[in-house]
Structure 1
């Protein structure tokens, strides 16, 4: 075997090893993508009602063509979401604590899921902090981190601002 071939095989082996390590790390820990928090004087009921009325989310999440839920808004419910320019994907509501928080899970990549955590917490100013936190887990989560951070880092703040503005107008 030539020296050049040995070098190429060594580099290829190192790259495969690096990808395997990143895939392993992505499978055993959550990969943070973006967190957005806004303080608001909106009433908790208005915010919760906006989240629970799943098909109407297109009012404040302008990046959605549609979002459907096949069952009542509770843990275990499943649905489909269509983001502009993408194919529809399935999701599941994995946690619901009414008036406080919910999480939905999207399986858009092989063996990888993305969790959207949404919370409403009282703040020191007498209002609430509403937070969206996006995390991924799975072998592709670390590998796709730059892409997902770029996409969602740009889109989520606007959706949260629209959400808060609409909630404030309803109180």
Structure 2
């Protein structure tokens, strides 16, 4: 093998090996993007209704152009959302625990998805902690992590604050 060929193989092989390693790691574990928790004494039923009434989410999530759901608010149902400045994205509800939480999944990059976990949990004050947690999984999740953090790290806290404020005003 010539010296030039060894150099070319090395220059190509090392980055490919790094990408393969990142893809393997991304496929094996969830990559945490952001978690936001707020405490509130809002009525649990009111909070649940705000989540379950999918088309009305634009009232408290100002970054949404629209969001719809193609059936009942239950696991397996899909829908479409359009975030300001981006095209429509399909999602699927993968888990629903009425009045406690739900998770929806967005297929983002090649073989990669993001899960949005939403929970309402009783806290020690007798009120509730409302938590939104965003995680990514798949071969490109680690690579996309900085972009997702920069986008959602700012948007999610604002949406959670708006959600809690609306729930409190309706309770």
Question: TM-score scaled to structure 2, two decimals?
Answer: 0.96
Detail structure 1 runs of 4+ shifted over 2 Å in the superposition: 5-9
Gaps of 5+ in 1: none
2:57 and 2:148 map into 1 onto residues whose CA distance is 21
1:31 and 1:106 map into 2 onto residues whose CA distance is 14
Q: Does 1:128 align with 2:128?
A: yes
The match for 1:63 is 63
Q: CA deviation at 1:170?
A: 0.4
1:161 and 1:129 map into 2 onto residues whose CA distance is 12
Q: CA deviation at 1:9?
A: 3.1
The match for 1:45 is 45
Q: CA deviation at 1:12?
A: 2.3
The match for 2:6 is 6
Within a 5 Å distance, the mapping from 1:9-20 to structure 2 comes to: 9-20=9-20
Within a 5 Å distance, the mapping from 1:75-86 to structure 2 comes to: 75-86=75-86
The match for 1:24 is 24
The match for 1:114 is 114
Q: CA deviation at 1:8?
A: 4.5
What SS does structure 2 have at the residue aligned with 1:11?
A: helix
Q: CA RMSD in A?
A: 1.1
The match for 1:95 is 95
1:111 and 1:44 map into 2 onto residues whose CA distance is 35
